[in-house]
Amino acid sequence: MRGLLINFSYLISAIFFIFGLKLLSSPISAKKGNLISAIGMLIAIVATLVSKEIVDYTWIIAGLLIGTLIGIYIAKKIQMTQMPQMVALLNGFGGFASLLVGFSIYYYDMNISSFTASTIFLSILIGGVTFTGSLIAWAKLSEKIAGKPLLFKGQRLLNSLILISTIVFGIIYSISPSTTYTYLLLIIILSNILGVLVVIPIGGADMPVVISLLNSYSGIAACASGFVIQNNVLIVSGALVGASGIVLTSIMCKAMNRSLVNVLFSGFGSNTTKIKEGEKKEAKSAIAKDAYFVLEAAKSIVIVPGYGLAVAQAQHVVKELSDLLENNGAEVKFAIHPVAGRMPGHMNVLLAEADVPYDKLVEMDDINRTIDTVDVCIVIGANDVVNPSARDDETSSIYGMPIIEVDKAKNVFVLKRSMASGFAGIENPLFFKENTTMIFGDAKKTIQNIIEEF
């Protein structure tokens, strides 16, 4: 009877996870989806504790309290600009937890079956790659190390040799786990080295893809850990995270018109592309008062947010400006590129924080159909996702990447601190277009100045 009740609780948890994941697909219902998923996890934890003969709860309670305090601190203190690197760290900790689970099961009982040993091998391999790979992603995103791809001769060969060696050691370990403890230690070392080597050649422009891929890895590692400890709900939840991460990775790649292999191995961003001198013209610049006169007369306005919006913490003043423009009789929309920012959905979350209505957020394909009728496009901190080179210059490294075609609007205001290139390291011809005007300075202050004019 007890076992039946435990399994029923796991089933309820799995249903909560799936339903919560469904609700996470929309910003309108995401908060509710988070809560439902959290309740499902609580049910799973309680059921697991009840199912085990636990003599001392001291460490469990201590871990619960410490984890809760850390979670509250993160929720309260971490800024939106730090969210991508925070997500990278959380992915890494998930992978490290799977590695520790696999190792601890073997360490306390080496007389295990070959099947259990193979699942331990997978949880350690994937967990180790996820852990150190996520640390490198965190370091790049937080600018602790250079965001550009780090390439060296024979890199792919070295990665291949390490992966093949790890798999060979894993097979040897799985065949005879009781006598191959040293091989497991080698697997731990090599998997962590591999995690570093597979992420360092990836540039900052591809970080949204890397984060979603590492998220998938952490789920797969958790799923493997579920087989190790024979826990059905961990298998289900890990599979859900792994599958959703793969789907999201596919969406990100499609949004850049690149394959996953190209993202992982091309070293994108290691070479910068310059605008040809014959094509380069003088960029026009203006001040907030000049922009006000144009915006005051405009009837249709599209705002394109990028990572610079997050850096300037300008989301709230952007919402205030959009309200003023609407009160002035203009139609205001927000055009969202799938890979804008440094993690999937970064701009959606940022604007939701400022209470921008979700129905005002328009996807790239939809806005491009009517963008030539728009009076003014305001580009705030975006660069590569509005670069016309992706459409017009076959020699550009981003050629073929779908963009928000703001250059087709009647007027374009680009809010930037300088003329510097974006994550991809490519100069942007948009800045030199006849219909483009640059407004230099901190985006938040610039928008505040425009609001004061209104």
State the DSSP H helix or E strand holding residue 91, giving kind and residue range, or none if neither. helix 83-108
- 87 near 211, Cβ under 8 Å? yes
User: Where do the H-state alpha helices sit in 257-287?
Assistant: 260-265
Instruction: Mark whether 407 is an active-site residue.
Output: no
Torsion sign over Cα 99, 105, 107, 111: negative
Q: Side chain identity at 199, as an amino acid letter?
A: V
Residue whose token pair is 């309680």: 46
Distance CA(154)–CA(160), nearest Å, equals 10
Provide the 8-state DSSP code for 313: T
Taking CA atoms, 167 is separated from 18, 161, 186, 301, in Å, by: 33, 10, 11, 55
Q: Which two tokens stand for residue 165?
A: 């060696």
> In this structure, what are the phi and psi dihedrals at residue 304, rounded to the nearest 5 degrees?
-110, 105
- 215 near 246, Cβ under 8 Å? no
Rounded to the nearest 5 percent, the helix, strand and coil shares of the chain are 65, 5, 30
Q: Which of 384, 393, 407, 442 is catalytic?
A: 384
Residue whose token pair is 């580009």: 379
Sheet containing 376-380: give its strands across.
361-363, 331-336, 300-305, 376-380, 411-416, 436-440
DSSP string, 337-375: -TT-SSSTTHHHHHHHHTT--GGGEEEHHHHHTTGGG-S
Give catalytic residue positions. Answer: 384
